[in-house]
Every structure is written in C-alpha cells, then in structure tokens.
C-alpha cells in the first residue's frame, strides 16, 4: 500500500519521478501495465500475490495513480529488494534468535517496471474518486489487527521481563522499582487489548459491501497508543533486564574456549551463565537490534 512517495510536499502527478508512486503507464484490451515503487511491504518475498492499493486520497489529475490490482509474485518486471528476517550474521549452529528465527518477518521494497496485469486482476484503474474510501477502509482494518499484534508482543515482553528479573536474582513482587515498571508494562499492553476488543464489539457492517468494519474511533485510538507507547515497552524491558540485553556478546562466545570458561564466574547470579545469557537473548530478540542497541523487533 505504501508508495515510495518521493517529495511528500507534492501530489503524485507532480512528482519529478513518477515512479515514486505506482501508476498506470498503458491500457490495452487485455489489461493494464503499471510501473512504480511500493515500500514497506511486510512479508513481500513469500506471498503468492501482492495486492496493490493507493496509499492516499487522489484528485482527478492523479487518475493514473489510482489503481488497485493483484500482481503475481513472479510477474515479469517485478523486483523485490528484501530485508532478511531474524538477526543476520549470527551463526545458525550456535543458536539463532529464539523468536525472530521462527516468527520474524521479512519486509521488502517492490519495484514495478512495466508489469502487466490482466483485467480480471484489476479492481479499479483510474477511478480516482474511490481512493480515499479504499485507503480509509484498509487503514481501519490494519490498525485493528495491529492492536492485536502489539498486545501479543506485550504479553511476550511481560513474560520475558519477569524471567529476567528472576535471572538477575530479583523478585518483581518485592522490589518496588521493578514492580512499578512491570505494572506499567501490563497497563500499556492491556490498553492496546482493550481498544481492540472495543473496536470489535462496536464494529458494524460496511454500508457498501456488508462486510464487517471495526469501529474506526477505537481502532485509531489503539493505533495512536501503540505507536507512541511501543518505545516505553522497549524501555521497560531494557530497564528490568539490565544493559546486557543490548551489549551481551552473541551466542558464538558461549562456544569460545578462551572466554566461555571465565564468563560464568562474573555473569552468573541465580542461574547458570549460559541459561541467563539465553534469557537475555530472548528479551533482546524482541526489543533490540544487534550491535546498535536501537529499539526494534529484530
């Protein structure tokens, strides 16, 4: 859905490079030909088809950019530049990131270079007046599902945070500063979940298609909460876990004969060093990127 957008102060038809937005370059009796770039496409490399949609409201002058269609992943002219899932660089034989290796998502930039789309896979082409409604409807659904995803992510952090407190020799139920942090994490997570439930309960049938539409107010409130509080979630996870979540050496060091024997004497507290390191990596794989320490679900 998200186009590259180019100069964001300009509308699609005003772009110096028209490929900043996916657009129609040719129409014929068999279908349409499209060019342009879609960015931030979750799961792009392992989809069967890509659903191409406009990312904004269009004006009449943007008619060629008002296109919605399904494109096969192996269509000639489609190139995907993908970011690998998980934590690239860590050796598989020494243990990949526990969660990212299985549940991590690859994202891609999809570049369309005169890609042919048959009419049966075209949902609209040039009907610019429908772009706003389509974008709004999609965004409402996406925000509703994103709330659920972040609430589940919060549950993982709650468990990881409690595990790290234990691994560090603390009981969060007895240590006030840790208990307050964990309560904040639970509050944030359940706030997401509450918005998702409310959006579902107050959802209604769409007036045009009669399909279910989650309540847009609660969907958007949930999105606003998660978009700002996701950083607090990461901060809390790092606080209760300790700085080693970001700076801990990779699993290769567990197998390094020069360091593997000495680290347990300085790292171990209530758990063996290797067990404690595994706990830290479990939290790290959900809250920080390798080397940089930047927030993100690497």
Q: Select the more confidently predicted residue: 237 or 37.
A: 37
Lowest mean pLDDT among 36-45, 138-147, 217-226, 236-245: 236-245
Beta-carbon count within 10 A of 244 CB: 18
Residue 47 CA: distances (Å) to CA of 51, 63, 234, 242: 10, 28, 30, 38
Give the span between the Cα atoms of 216 and 203, in whole angstroms.
Answer: 8
Give the span between the Cα atoms of 130 and 224, in whole angstroms.
Answer: 26
- In the chain the domains, ranked by start, together with CATH numbers, are 12-126 (2.40.110.10), 132-287 (1.20.140.10)
pLDDT at 281: 52
Across 82-96, 107-121, 200-214, 276-290, the highest mean pLDDT is recorded for 107-121
What is the residue whose two structure tokens read 């024997």?
261
Give the span between the Cα atoms of 290 and 82, in whole angstroms.
Answer: 18
Q: What is the mean pLDDT of residues 194-223?
A: 91
Are 24 and 34 within 8 A, CB to CB? yes
pLDDT at 61: 95
The H or E element that residue 158 is part of is helix 131-167
Confidence band for 125, pLDDT divided at 50, 70 and 90:
very high
Confidence band for 279, pLDDT divided at 50, 70 and 90:
low
Give the span between the Cα atoms of 290 and 87, in whole angstroms.
Answer: 7
| Per-residue model confidence as pLDDT tens digits over 126-179 | 999 999 888 888 889 999 998 988 898 899 888 888 888 887 788 877 888 888
Are 132 and 124 within 8 A, CB to CB? no
Give the span between the Cα atoms of 94 and 253, in whole angstroms.
Answer: 9
Confidence check: pLDDT of 71 > 80: yes
- Within 13 A of 276's CA, how many CA atoms are on the CB side? 20
User: Computed from CA positions of residues 209, 210, 211, 212, in that sequence, does the dihedral angle turn out positive or negative?
Assistant: positive
Confidence check: pLDDT of 43 > 90: no
């Amino acid at each position: 859905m998200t186009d590259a957008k180019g100069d964001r102060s300009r509308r699609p038809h005003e772009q110096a490079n028209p490929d900043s937005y996916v657009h129609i370059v040719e129409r014929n009796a068999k279908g349409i030909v499209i060019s342009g770039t879609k960015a931030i496409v979750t799961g792009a490399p392992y989809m069967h088809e890509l659903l191409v949609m406009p990312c904004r409201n269009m004006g009449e002058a943007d008619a060629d950019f008002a296109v919605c269609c399904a494109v096969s992943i192996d269509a000639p002219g489609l190139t995907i530049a993908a970011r690998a899932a998980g934590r690239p660089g860590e050796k598989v034989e020494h243990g990949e990131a526990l969660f990212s290796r299985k549940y991590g998502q690859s994202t891609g930039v999809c570049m369309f270079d005169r890609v042919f789309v048959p009419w049966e896979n075209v949902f609209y082409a040039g009907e610019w007046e429908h772009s706003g409604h389509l974008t709004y409807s999609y965004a409402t659904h996406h925000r509703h599902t994103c709330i659920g995803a972040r609430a589940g992510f919060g549950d993982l952090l709650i468990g990881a945070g409690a595990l790290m407190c234990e691994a560090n020799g603390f009981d969060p139920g007895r240590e006030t500063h840790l208990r307050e942090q964990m309560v904040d994490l639970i509050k944030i997570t359940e706030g997401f979940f509450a918005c998702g439930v409310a959006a579902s309960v107050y959802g209604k049938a769409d007036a045009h298609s009669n399909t279910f539409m989650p309540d847009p107010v609660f969907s958007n409130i949930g999105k606003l909460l998660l978009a700002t509080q996701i950083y607090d979630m990461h901060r809390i996870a790092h606080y209760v876990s300790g700085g080693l979540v970001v700076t801990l050496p990779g699993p290769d060091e567990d197998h390094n004969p020069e360091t593997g024997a000495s680290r347990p004497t300085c790292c171990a507290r209530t758990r063996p060093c290797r067990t404690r390191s595994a706990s830290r990596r479990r939290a790290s794989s959900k809250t920080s990127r390798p080397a940089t320490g930047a927030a993100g679900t690497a």
